[in-house]
Structure 1
Amino acid sequence: MKKILCVIAAVGILAACNNNREQDRQAAVKAVKDSMRLDSFKRAEASVAAAKARQRSIDSAQAIATARARASSRTGGSRVAGYSQSYTNDQPAQQKKGWSSAAKGAAIGAGAGAITGIAVDKKDGRGAIVGGLVGAGTGYLIGRSKDKKTGRAQ
């Protein structure tokens, strides 16, 4: 009987120790995950703050360049002891990328008009040519109005 009680007590002690280790391990894993989340939030906040600072410096540089350009246009440059200096805006002209809506409309209209022209008039491609020209013109006009709305065309 003593042996059975000793074995049960030993198993109980070992089981109790094992459960605490698992709970401790889970608590440590949770603490590490929480600290990683906190670290990632801090890094994200730092990058947002850096981006805002960069934007403020860009905005102030643009304001200075604009003020210099306005002052230069009013006075025609500055004269100091026989030397003249004029300020220019050092920013490159903004390039428009991609197709305009007018070009897209003309291409789509030409294709649709040619297909419709072939279906309507099946003689020697005459319908395709006429339909393509009419479709391209119509597509261009529709696309041009879209460009005017977005400010791409003047």
Structure 2
Amino acid sequence: MKALYLLLLAVVIISCKDQGKMDSQAAKQETIDSMKVEIEKQKVIDSMKVEMAKVESQKEVVIVQQPSTSAPAATAKKKAWSNTAKGAVIGAGVGAATGAIISKKKGQGAIIGGLAGAGVGAGTGAIIDGSKK
């Protein structure tokens, strides 16, 4: 009977040791996997930066010289914001403020309110743009 208890105790101890090793091995593997994912993300970001640098370097600069006898050229006007863009920005601001005030979860309420406000504001601005045309 004592031999049976000793055998049972040995099995329990061995199984507990193996489980601890398996948990630490699984944790190590999870850490390695998450590091691999982060490295892949960084590679994508780096390649995007390289591509953006290529695009920036390919931009052409055109210089036009006008005869000095002609009148000075009028300065180019800045393009004004469309009503759709203005409505989206204003709606997002008002919606975010309202969502943060009303919601118990301030950040989540601000995000949801901002998105809803931007949508409504953009829709209203689009209607105004359509009526002006």
Q: TM-score, normalised by structure 2?
A: 0.48
If you compute each CA radius of gyration, which structure gives the higher value, 1 or 2? Answer: 1
Q: TM-score, normalised by structure 1?
A: 0.42
Which of the pair has the greater relative contact order for Cα pairs under 8 Å at 6+ separation?
A: 2
